[in-house]
Amino acid sequence: MPTIWSNLLNLFFPNACKICGRPLIEGEEQICLECLCDLPHTGYHKQAGNPVEQLFTGKNKIEYATAYLRYEKGGKVQSLVHSLKYHENKELGYLLGRQIARELNADHSPICTADLIIPVPLHPRKKRKRGYNQSEWIASGIRSILEIPIDTQSLARVTPTSSQTHKTIYERWLNVYSIFNVVSSENLKNKHILLIDDVITTGATISACAQALSEIPGIRISVLALSVA
């Protein structure tokens, strides 16, 4: 847990683990090996028909879907995601992307056979405000290991989503439909696309992306998220 104590430690020892606060040793970056092993891994990439794939059943044609970690309120993964999204810790997205790719690769996951990575786009206004798209940083970590190119041009977010907090699940689904637009399909025809997101909750955002892409001839879509709530 990122306690006041570990925050204090980080202040005096910037090379301390983001989770437990202990000083990092050589080869460790941001998270110590012990904490990295200790994170709640889902192992879903080794499980056909896993709960992430089930989110899209009857909604989209998805080849493979998985999420690396289990997201729990108040848990370690929440603080990692928070650091990635709100504290400009882009590097953490990159490092976790690398770690995910190493594990998928070691387990010969079919996700590694994707031709092209598309990070879920942010609305331009939101991206300007945050200064970066956290999913692009996860994607670039993945690219550095799997050498799959990233496309941030072909798919765009055309409408910003309003806050999801007070909406029912059904309203959330309505809210995210038709918010993505294919800008150009040239680069995507007959490709196996890997969509990247930070947190999957209902799956509605990914579903809206997949919906927008589904008209492209010969396209196949897989999904990889850093975490699933």
Q: In terms of CB distance, is 29 or 151 closer to Zn ion?
A: 29
Q: Which residues contact 51 (CB under 8 A, 6 or more apart)?
A: 44, 228
Residues 161 and 122: their CA atoms lie apart, in Å, by: 10
Compute how many residues bind Zn ion; rule: CB under 5 A. 5
The residue from 6, 16, 30, 35 that contacts Zn ion (CB under 5 A) is: 35
Choices 15-23, 39-47, 110-118, 218-226; region in contact with Zn ion by CB under 5 A = 15-23
Q: Is residue 19 part of the contact set for Zn ion (CB under 5 A)?
A: yes
Distance separating alpha carbons of residues 175 and 93, to the nearest angstrom: 27
Tokens 């006041």 belong to which residue?
4
Among residues 16, 32, 199, 216, which is the contact residue for Zn ion, using CB under 5 A? Answer: 32
17 or 199, CB closer to Zn ion? 17
Neighbours of 171 (CB within 10 A): 12
Q: Closest approach of Cβ 44 to Zn ion, in Å?
A: 24
Find the shortest distance in angstroms from Cβ 6 to Zn ion.
9
Query: Judged by CB under 5 A, which of 6, 16, 20, 148 binds Zn ion?
Result: 20
Q: Which is nearer to Zn ion, 44 or 68 (CB)?
A: 68
Residue number with CB closer to Zn ion (51 or 75): 75
* DSSP track, 57-110: TTT---S-EEEEEE--TTSHHHHHHHHHHHS--HHHHHHHHHHHHHHHHHTT-G
- Contact region with Zn ion (CB under 5 A), list: 17-25, 104-112, 146-154, 199-207: 17-25
**17 lies in the binding site for Zn ion (CB under 5 A):** yes
- Residues 208 and 55 sit within 8 Å (Cβ to Cβ): no
Q: How far is the CB of 34 from Zn ion (least distance, A)?
A: 6
Query: From the CB of 168, what's the least distance to Zn ion, in Å?
Result: 38
Is residue 52 a contact partner of residue 67, using CB atoms and an 8 Å limit?
yes
Instruction: Tell me which stretch binds Zn ion (CB under 5 A): 35-43, 90-98, 134-142, 218-226.
Output: 35-43
* DSSP code string of 141-166: HHHHHH---B-SSSEEE-SPPPP-TT
- Residue 6: how many CB atoms within 10 A of its CB? 18
Rounded to a whole number of angstroms, the minimum distance from the CB of residue 19 to Zn ion is 5
Contact 101, 145 (CB under 8 A): yes
Q: Which residues bind Zn ion (CB under 5 A)?
A: 17, 19-20, 32, 35
